Amino acid sequence: MFIENIGLFASLAGVVLWIYLLVASFNEDVSAVLSVRPLREDSAYYILTILLTEWKARVVKC
């Protein structure tokens, strides 16, 4: 249950960041509010998702 909650939170955070990047690409005022470095955040999200998936696979095997 804990792993599912973390996965849900990570997916929601990814959606929020994606929407922000979409809006910021059309509006300079929005991009000035929060300085996001897309590559860093996307890489961290990707690595976190991989780690959680592997952790879930090991928990299910045991």
For residues 32 and 48, the answer to whether their CB atoms sit within 8 Å is: no
Packing angle of the helix pair 2-26, 38-61 (nearest 10 deg): 160
Res 30: pLDDT: 64
For the chain, which residues make up each domain, given as ranges? 2-61
3-state DSSP helix/strand/coil percent for the chain, to nearest 5? 90, 0, 10
**Does position 51 have pLDDT exceeding 80, yes or no?**
yes
pLDDT of residue 19: 82
Average pLDDT on 21-42 reads: 69
With 80 as the cut, is the pLDDT of residue 35 above it?
no
What distance in Å separates the CA atoms of residue 33 and residue 20, rounded to the nearest whole number?
10
Is the predicted pLDDT of residue 54 greater than 70, yes or no? yes
Q: What is the pLDDT of the chain when averaged over all its residues?
A: 76
